[in-house]
Structure 1
Amino acid sequence: MKNTIAARIADFLKEFPPFSLLEEKQLLTISKDVKVIYMEKGKPVFRKGENGHEHFYIVNKGAIDLQKINENGEAETIDKCDEGDIFGLRPLFAKENYLINADTDEESILYAIPISIFKPIAENNSRVGNFLIESFASNTRNPYSPEHRGQLVTDNTVDFKTDAMYELQPVPIVKKIVTVPPETTIKTAANLMSNKKVGSILITENEIPIGIVTDMDFRKMVATGRLSIDTSVSEIMTSPVICYSRNITIAQAQLTMMKHNINHICITKDGTPNTRVKGIVSEHDIIVSQANNPSVLMKAIKRARSTKKLKKVRNKITQLLRGYLDHNIPLTHISKIFFELNDATIKRIIDRCIEKMETPPPVNFAWLSLGSQGRKEQLLHTDQDNALVFEDVPEEKLEETKEYFLKLSKKVTKRLSIIGYEFCPAEMMARNPDYCLSLKEWKEQFSDWIVEPGPDQILLCSIFFDYDISYGDVKLSNELADHIYKEIESYKKFLTLLAASALRNPTPLGFFRQFLVEHDGENKDFFDIKKRAITPLTDAGRVLSLLYQVKNISNTAERFEKLAQLEPANKELYLACSYSSKALLKFRTKQGLRHKDSGRFINLQDLSKEDKIKLKRCFKSIKDVQELIKFRFEISSYLP
């Protein structure tokens, strides 16, 4: 009779290394002797100094904290094992006691793998052996400590100028290359280049590059009559070929070309002339790629005379974003550059729309970008959130003035929609009369929201607290901000309600650390990374910043970094939140670029185990900061 328990265990194990490297028969042999262990939260699996067990372990459900003992005798978490992670390998390699603690971080189910059964199989499978040795020898990492950030986002503190950011983009590679063997005649090679419309041809033997011939070589060696067209192409080729791997930057390529006085670089599998050709880089292609230089794009935005041209520039900005992410440029720098490009686009559209109005604006006004653009976090084309505030006018002029700005706002929002920023489904846009108000009306509106807040008012407030002026008179937005902070100071209860609202989306993990997914609708079974992960951190950063009356900082990561300065006791938590907010934004952006959408809804089936673990590590920050808010504002339960 088939052992169904062993079969289920084998089905689980085969999804994770090193078990994925075993044959099905070997897996079943191991699975028959696996012990299934249920452990409550906070229980030890083993302790430092304890004799090695007869098993090592893999997490089936739950999470395990691996802890070292510091100089004060206190346990410090150095790594966390999630679903599919193995730990307790020491008995496989050394007859020594355990050097760390392993405790359950929550209710967990472990599979205990017998060493006596597994070791002979591992010794006869080199790939399994290598995996285990590397796992045993590698250091554990704590993603929440300052020195170990960088799982989803690199955060190097480099001061890039705009042009330098361009030069750090990946170089444009042409993958459709033309190759010939060395005995090919010059005439044949020239005809082939002409037919394929290329400026160079690679000379290869067994797909290995041994030389390159360009248009310049034909001019120097053939057109001058020095060599016959029936001569072998190897007589005029440049050899050896300068080779790089595919991750070469524009700056590296330019320096290499200048150093070697060449205008082509060969891209091979490992960056040496000893492996297969993967593509070619030309000086011409680099020059063409300068159209994606941020400074060039900025000039193009300012010169654009139509919405159609602005849309083309926006497409190039998306290409620039893809290049930066591919080359792992720090998200802090990416966000700043893209905020400026987005902001310049909004300014240009407003300028153009004012030109199309019959008369200039009757009074000074300010265009406010809300939401992700207001927080300098808008990298993808998401829906637009904006508002307009204009100078106070006499009562008899109010409707006429408002009508002018509503007409202007409709023109602006329409053009923003054309270039890719969809209309807000909730109509939180300046074209809505509710969000196109005089300064006095806005002050009264915020006072109502703060003094007598209901659930809807709290939600509206949370959106409008993240604004940045994109166009117009900064005095108007500053005066409005001063009024808001004064009101909050007078009505402390509002912050408590805002804090409770920040807890409306609890930790994104359910029972046994499973992702909480949508249960119905068109996104059924998808993970909503905005609602369940990004928004909780955004809400937490906002309410804590308002508590400290932090002004002129709306970016979530920067808010937490400021909080780390203001609260040294919680510095590590706030820096972990800052890291997680950038990591989650970067993850969403990559998903959006891959699927050509907003990146909000993620199919978990498409994620690797590594991606899932990285996301879960970010989720710990959400849980911890929400616990802090719950305690600080004395909130007994989440809002419905």
Structure 2
Amino acid sequence: MFGQKKEGLQAHDPDMVVDFLQGVLPFKDLEHSTLVNLAKNANVDFYPKGTRVLTQDVSEVNYVYLIQKGGVKIYLQDQAGEISLKDYRGEGSVFGALAVIRGSRSSMTVEAVEDTFCFLFPKKSFLELLKTHPGFAQHYLKVFSRDYVQKSLDELRKERLTPKTEGSLYLFTVKVNDVIRRKPEIITPVQSVQQAAQRMSDLGIGSLLIRNEYGKVSGIITDKDIRSKVVAKGLPYSTEVEKVMSSPIKTISAQRVCFDALLDMMSNRIHHLAVQDEDRIIGVITSHDILVLQGESPVYLFKEIMHQNRIERLYELSLKVPLVVRPLIEEGAKANNITRMITILNDLILTRLLTLLQEQLGPPPVPFCWLLMGSEGRKEQTFRTDQDNALVYQDPENEEQKQKAEKYFETFGEEAINHLVKCGYPLCQGGNMASNPKWRQPLSVWKQYFSRWVNRPEPQEVLNSTIFFDFRPAYGDMVLGQELKDELQSLVKGKDMFLRYLAQDCFRTKPPLSFFKNFIVDRDGEHKNRLDLKARGLVPFWDFARVMALKHGIMETNTLERLEMLDREGHMPHNLFVRARESYEFQMQLRFVNQLKLMEAGEQPHNYIDPAELSDLEKQTLKGAFSVISNLQSFLKETFKLNMG
């Protein structure tokens, strides 16, 4: 839709224009008399939402536009018709100045994204200001470098550029294939450990691949295997390598980036990965290769955590997690990659802590599994996420074993939680922790909990239990945790009433936008003029992904992975998935950046943001992200046939 310019329509009150200009750079630095003259020549115009104010390469620009209220988006369109969004601008922002300065047509398209009022300053008046006020001119000449901007625009029109890989961080740009130093060295399964050690020594390498009689790589032997499995256990050096090799071998595609290799190594507690190109093993990549590639590599912290033999030493190491993650944020890593790294490091700390605690207390009377819930269960931790955990153990066989189990796990749960607090993980305000007897129970009791929640749902109890539907096994006898997940999947299947309760719960949180699309913030209290990004923006995405995943038997807990599976299996419209993914990732990124700034300022990280501190582009993007909440809720209403009145 094209706006009908009301040429020559004078602003009824020049004083109103002056008052507005006095709050906008660089106008506010001009003398009052200059502002009065400018205001007298100004026009005012209104552009309804969707109006195209200027059209790329078509519109003659005779005015400089200053947005009084509303907002516009500015974009380019290449020869293939592809649109590239360049900016959003809101109240107090200017557009059209570059074209006026250059005396050219508009180089971009400008479209109102909401009902918008603009002050229009004639080209002649604006150019006169540039001539007579050097400071005013310097502001715009600094912002618009003619040669640079024109060159960038021309190149963009000729060819839509591939989006830049995340920052210059090597972990995200270098492919595994590019780090391989040499072809893989191969030995046979029947060769001796001594022969393998001699071969590694001669070649100056730390591993050998083992190829079986069928010509397939069946395992790997490393210098660590020889130390821990042969020398430490007193085995003869004539032992065949197939008896001590690691098998099956862990592989990674040659086309994946080094960050993926790093995560695989840390997740599997290994230091070598075989690199696979289609069906061939073409080399081996080690943690040392990544250390050389990236000096800030989390591998350093990974090794420190795994080598600790005192729980108290983990307190200090846990504080290093933000220091390791910080470079990822600074270099533009996506929020999902950041949470993956934090999850792995936190899981490593937990695993080492619980292992050392078991060594102190002795073996448990029955097998158990430590469960993680909430953001930990979803693998979406940020900095210093509250604890949300529980403990399930195998049902005791008799009364004596029952009493021993209760006593052991009471001590184990309480001490584990206290150690985690000292590691910097705050207590859960709702008491959802393994130190709470209610959440430290045999498998049969846990099955009863889920059965009651699913089969006899009460609104308030369902609300309080949602955190448990994001659980994942984290430590101990993982079979116990998986059995509980299987039980949950079986229970939920076909339970429409329970799912409707969960779906209705998704409507508790409304998008924090007013009727006029302004942010709704806290009006008083500690966080006055701020909004809770977690509670108001992210929770609706968690709730949507959870109920839809349970409905369709998807047992993944991570929000983005749930959404991707829902999209892949056709359970939600693809365009809704794309918008939800982008909106969720933007909010998580904003959350990380905000928390990092707080930590660097010596403050405790929290989830409140001040919209006034955001750029126009960030404000508009965040508004768009919040608007997706309504789309998700509308889809739930239709899917579950909810009558919300």
1:353-390 CA distance string (max 9 Å, x none): 22232x52121111111122222221311211111111
Of 351, 362, 365, 2:365 maps to: 362
Question: Which residue of the partner structure matches residue 554 of structure 1?
Answer: 557
Alignment of 1:202-601 (within 5 A): 293-357=297-361, 359-394=362-397, 396=399, 398=402, 401-551=405-555, 553-567=556-570, 570-596=573-599, 597-601=604-608
Q: How far 1:411 moved relative to its partner? A: 0.7
Secondary structure at 2:392 match in 1? strand
Paired amino acid for 1:602: I
- Find the aligned partners of 1:386 and 1:520 in 2 and give their Cα distance: 33
Alignment gaps of 5+ in structure 1: 165-285
Q: Provide closer, same or farther for how the CA distance between residues 491 and 568 of structure 1 changes in structure 2, counting only shifts above 3 A.
A: closer
Given that 1:90 and 1:96 are in contact with CA atoms closer than 8 Å, whether structure 2 keeps it comes out as no
Q: How far 1:98 moved relative to its partner? A: 9.8
- Find the aligned partners of 1:621 and 1:468 in 2 and give their Cα distance: 28
Secondary structure at 1:422 match in 2? coil
Of 630, 636, 639, 1:632 maps to: 639
Given that 1:63 and 1:80 are in contact with CA atoms closer than 8 Å, whether structure 2 keeps it comes out as yes
Q: How far 1:518 moved relative to its partner? A: 1.8
- Find the aligned partners of 2:131 and 2:566 in 1 and give their Cα distance: 52
Secondary structure at 2:22 match in 1? helix
Q: CA RMSD in A?
A: 4.2
Paired amino acid for 1:514: N
- Find the aligned partners of 1:388 and 1:111 in 2 and give their Cα distance: 63
Q: Provide closer, same or farther for how the CA distance between residues 482 and 108 of structure 1 changes in structure 2, counting only shifts above 3 A.
A: farther
Given that 1:52 and 1:90 are in contact with CA atoms closer than 8 Å, whether structure 2 keeps it comes out as no
Of 619, 622, 625, 1:615 maps to: 622
1:73-127 CA distance string (max 9 Å, x none): 999988654444444669735676998573x444444333433432332466254
Secondary structure at 1:513 match in 2? coil
Question: Which residue of the partner structure matches residue 281 of structure 1?
Answer: none
Paired amino acid for 1:5: M
- Find the aligned partners of 2:456 and 2:172 in 1 and give their Cα distance: 44
Question: Which residue of the partner structure matches residue 17 of structure 2?
Answer: 6
Question: Which residue of the partner structure matches residue 57 of structure 1?
Answer: 65
Of 127, 133, 140, 1:119 maps to: 127
- Find the aligned partners of 1:156 and 1:631 in 2 and give their Cα distance: 43
Q: Provide closer, same or farther for how the CA distance between residues 555 and 26 of structure 1 changes in structure 2, counting only shifts above 3 A.
A: farther
- Find the aligned partners of 1:150 and 1:636 in 2 and give their Cα distance: 45
Given that 1:123 and 1:129 are in contact with CA atoms closer than 8 Å, whether structure 2 keeps it comes out as no
Question: Which residue of the partner structure matches residue 167 of structure 1?
Answer: none
Q: Provide closer, same or farther for how the CA distance between residues 23 and 65 of structure 1 changes in structure 2, counting only shifts above 3 A.
A: same
Q: How far 1:430 moved relative to its partner? A: 1.2
1:483-524 CA distance string (max 9 Å, x none): 222222221233233233223222233344332222333222
Given that 2:75 and 2:108 are in contact with CA atoms closer than 8 Å, whether structure 1 keeps it comes out as no
Q: Provide closer, same or farther for how the CA distance between residues 67 and 472 of structure 1 changes in structure 2, counting only shifts above 3 A.
A: same
Secondary structure at 2:470 match in 1? coil
Paired amino acid for 1:387: A
Question: Which residue of the partner structure matches residue 190 of structure 2?
Answer: none
For these two proteins, the number of residue pairs brought into alignment is 504
- Find the aligned partners of 1:616 and 1:90 in 2 and give their Cα distance: 27
Q: Provide closer, same or farther for how the CA distance between residues 453 and 474 of structure 1 changes in structure 2, counting only shifts above 3 A.
A: same
Given that 2:61 and 2:106 are in contact with CA atoms closer than 8 Å, whether structure 1 keeps it comes out as no
- Find the aligned partners of 2:564 and 2:436 in 1 and give their Cα distance: 35
Q: Provide closer, same or farther for how the CA distance between residues 565 and 70 of structure 1 changes in structure 2, counting only shifts above 3 A.
A: farther
Given that 2:169 and 2:331 are in contact with CA atoms closer than 8 Å, whether structure 1 keeps it comes out as no
- Find the aligned partners of 2:165 and 2:590 in 1 and give their Cα distance: 12
- Find the aligned partners of 1:633 and 1:139 in 2 and give their Cα distance: 48
1:261-298 CA distance string (max 9 Å, x none): xxxxxxxxxxxxxxxxxxxxxxxxx99x96x6422322
Q: Provide closer, same or farther for how the CA distance between residues 526 and 300 of structure 1 changes in structure 2, counting only shifts above 3 A.
A: same
Question: Which residue of the partner structure matches residue 201 of structure 1?
Answer: none
- Find the aligned partners of 1:368 and 1:75 in 2 and give their Cα distance: 46
Secondary structure at 1:463 match in 2? helix
TM-score (norm 1): 0.67
Q: Provide closer, same or farther for how the CA distance between residues 500 and 352 of structure 1 changes in structure 2, counting only shifts above 3 A.
A: same
Secondary structure at 2:474 match in 1? strand
Q: How far 1:64 moved relative to its partner? A: 3.6
Q: Provide closer, same or farther for how the CA distance between residues 427 and 106 of structure 1 changes in structure 2, counting only shifts above 3 A.
A: same
Q: How far 1:427 moved relative to its partner? A: 0.6
Q: Provide closer, same or farther for how the CA distance between residues 107 and 346 of structure 1 changes in structure 2, counting only shifts above 3 A.
A: same
Paired amino acid for 1:374: G
Q: Provide closer, same or farther for how the CA distance between residues 70 and 313 of structure 1 changes in structure 2, counting only shifts above 3 A.
A: closer
Q: How far 1:10 moved relative to its partner? A: 0.7
Given that 2:388 and 2:428 are in contact with CA atoms closer than 8 Å, whether structure 1 keeps it comes out as yes
- Find the aligned partners of 1:586 and 1:409 in 2 and give their Cα distance: 33
Given that 1:56 and 1:89 are in contact with CA atoms closer than 8 Å, whether structure 2 keeps it comes out as yes
Deviates more, 1:410-419 or 1:3-12: 3-12
TM-score (norm 2): 0.67
The answer on 1:131 being equivalent to 2:143 is yes
Given that 2:96 and 2:106 are in contact with CA atoms closer than 8 Å, whether structure 1 keeps it comes out as no
Secondary structure at 1:366 match in 2? strand
Question: Which residue of the partner structure matches residue 228 of structure 1?
Answer: none
Paired amino acid for 1:128: Y
- Find the aligned partners of 1:40 and 1:117 in 2 and give their Cα distance: 26
Secondary structure at 1:465 match in 2? helix
- Find the aligned partners of 1:338 and 1:482 in 2 and give their Cα distance: 27
- Find the aligned partners of 1:111 and 1:494 in 2 and give their Cα distance: 55
Q: Provide closer, same or farther for how the CA distance between residues 325 and 76 of structure 1 changes in structure 2, counting only shifts above 3 A.
A: closer
Paired amino acid for 2:570: E
Q: Provide closer, same or farther for how the CA distance between residues 136 and 463 of structure 1 changes in structure 2, counting only shifts above 3 A.
A: same
- Find the aligned partners of 2:444 and 2:466 in 1 and give their Cα distance: 20
Q: Provide closer, same or farther for how the CA distance between residues 315 and 69 of structure 1 changes in structure 2, counting only shifts above 3 A.
A: closer
Alignment gaps of 5+ in structure 2: 1-12, 180-290
Given that 1:508 and 1:533 are in contact with CA atoms closer than 8 Å, whether structure 2 keeps it comes out as yes
Q: Provide closer, same or farther for how the CA distance between residues 573 and 24 of structure 1 changes in structure 2, counting only shifts above 3 A.
A: farther
1:438-479 CA distance string (max 9 Å, x none): 222212212222233334333333311222221012222222
- Find the aligned partners of 1:67 and 1:467 in 2 and give their Cα distance: 43
Secondary structure at 1:490 match in 2? coil
Paired amino acid for 1:591: N
Given that 2:166 and 2:333 are in contact with CA atoms closer than 8 Å, whether structure 1 keeps it comes out as no
Q: Percent identical across equivalent pairs?
A: 27
Q: How far 1:322 moved relative to its partner? A: 1.7
Paired amino acid for 1:471: Y
Question: Which residue of the partner structure matches residue 192 of structure 1?
Answer: none
Q: Provide closer, same or farther for how the CA distance between residues 59 and 411 of structure 1 changes in structure 2, counting only shifts above 3 A.
A: same
